[in-house]
Amino acid sequence: MKKRFLAIIAAALIMVSAASCTAQNTESTQSTQTSAAQTTAVKNTASSDDDTSSSSKTDVKEASLKGTLTKDSVFTDRDLEQSADLTDAKKYTVTDGENISIKSDGVYVLSGSAKNVTVTVDADSEDKVQIVLDGVSITNESAPAIYVKSADKVFVTTTKGSANTLKVTGSFTKDGDTNTDAVIFSKDDLVLNGQGTLNISSTDNGITSKDDLKITGGTLDITSTSDAIEANDSIAVAGGKITINSQKDGLHAENDDDNSLGYVYICGGTFNITSTADGIQGTTTVQIDGGTFEITAQEAIESTYVKINGGTLKISASDDGINGSNKSDSVNTAIEINDGDITIDMVQGDTDGIDSNGDLYINGGKISINAQSPFDYDGTCEKNGGTIIVNGTETDTITNQTLGGGMQGGGEMNR
């Protein structure tokens, strides 16, 4: 009986011990999972810190339609950085006829001089790739110098003091169904920045992004037979010195499949644009918060909604200086000027300094127009502030030159 009792006790102790071990193992597993989750969270935080902004693309799109874009909402921290961390960078010296293929995120430095070389980025859709131009010259006959097939975002960064040249001299050839018609051609987000110079010469477009395109620094000199800088969804500029000689548009943002996209936002930079068509064109909105502009074009600025909050603009145009036209059904057609120093010189003939196919609002700034027809608007006109000088004479009256000429109406200053 005593032996049986001892055996029962021993069995009970073994069960308690096993239960204790199971509990410890469960606790250990939970602890390991928690630790792994914390590690993942840290990694995700570090990754997001690398390229953070305060707004999603949807938020930015909505703000663009309202004309309420800001620098902080449009540009990420990394967009605004003007140099790259070269610690783990992979370096290439370009060689005639030897293409370069980039398959993953990272920093890649290009230098040297070569002909018929294409740098192709075909990375994962979450990868960020930075191509650093450090005194590189590429001349191609029929293909882009930089071709982004796939990535989350690609940065093209010029090193401090460097001179870089990318050129295509012949007719572009397609890549399957893709019409790769620009010296820098990207299917995804593209950012140009840096502290050096990039010269681009093209027999078609200069720089193309089929998504969003941003410029935040560096010196760009572009000569093209078509659009100098174009994007499907948006063009945003925060800095840099940009010189354009284009046989079509200087900056062009348009999405053929969705007319609620295609805005231009500029909050800084220096622009010298000569184009045979439009200097700056956006489908939905062109919002200018700052910058210095010299534009010679058929139409200097054109969009459904043009909003100018600042900057110094010197415009020479042969059709309309600033044109609000009906390009999108997602935003009302209007021109709104809140601040800035704007000078518009028009050629003689059937031309308008400021032409809105909708409403016209002048709330501030200084506007000097030299033209036979300084204003033309089809909707409401309000002058709530600012200074207007027409052909050398200051006035508080906005005289409307209606279609066909002859009839004139005045928009008086609201007091």
SS3 of 24-56: HHHHHHHHHHHHHHHHHHHHHHHHHHCCCCCCC
Residue 316 and residue 89: Cα distance in Å, rounded? 45
Residue 214 and residue 225: Cα distance in Å, rounded? 21
179 — phi, psi (to 5°)? Answer: -85, 90
Q: What is the pLDDT of residue 176?
A: 95
Pairing of strands 205-209, 182-186: parallel
Average pLDDT in the 192-202 region? 98
Q: What is the pLDDT of residue 411?
A: 52
pLDDT level of residue 257 (50, 70, 90 thresholds)? very high
Closest C-alpha among 314, 308, 386, 373 to residue 347: 373
Closest C-alpha among 266, 230, 253, 220 to residue 71: 266
Closest C-alpha among 80, 77, 83, 120 to residue 98: 120
Average pLDDT in the 169-184 region? 97
Q: What is the pLDDT of residue 28?
A: 35
Q: pLDDT by residue (tens digit) across 353-411? A: 999 999 999 999 999 999 999 999 999 999 999 999 999 999 999 999 764 433 334 45
Q: Which two tokens stand for residue 145?
A: 């110098």
The answer to whether residue 3 scores a pLDDT higher than 50 is no
Tell me which of 360 and 34 has the higher pLDDT. Answer: 360
pLDDT level of residue 349 (50, 70, 90 thresholds)? confident
Q: What is the pLDDT of residue 295?
A: 98
Helices (H), 188-312: none
Q: pLDDT by residue (tens digit) across 92-146? A: 999 999 999 999 999 999 999 999 999 999 999 999 999 999 999 999 999 999 9
Residue 149 and residue 210: Cα distance in Å, rounded? 10
The answer to whether residue 310 scores a pLDDT higher than 90 is yes
Average pLDDT in the 232-256 region? 98
Average pLDDT in the 230-234 region? 98
What is the DSSP secondary structure assignment for residue 282, as one 8-state letter?
Answer: E
Phi-psi region of 11 (alpha: psi -120 to 50; beta: other; left: phi over 0): alpha
Average pLDDT in the 86-91 region? 98
Report the DSSP beta bridge partners of residue 231. Answer: 209, 253
Closest C-alpha among 212, 198, 280, 268 to residue 240: 268
Cβ partners under 8 Å of residue 127, min gap 6: 104, 105, 151, 152
pLDDT level of residue 350 (50, 70, 90 thresholds)? confident
145-162 burial code (b ≥16 CB/10 A, e <16): bbbbbbbbbbbbbbbeeb
pLDDT level of residue 270 (50, 70, 90 thresholds)? very high
Average pLDDT in the 283-291 region? 98
Q: Mean pLDDT across the chain, nearest whole number? A: 88
Q: What is the pLDDT of residue 327?
A: 97
Q: What is the pLDDT of residue 402?
A: 60
Closest C-alpha among 156, 147, 260, 255 to residue 211: 255
pLDDT level of residue 79 (50, 70, 90 thresholds)? very high
Residue 49 and residue 334: Cα distance in Å, rounded? 38
pLDDT level of residue 34 (50, 70, 90 thresholds)? very low
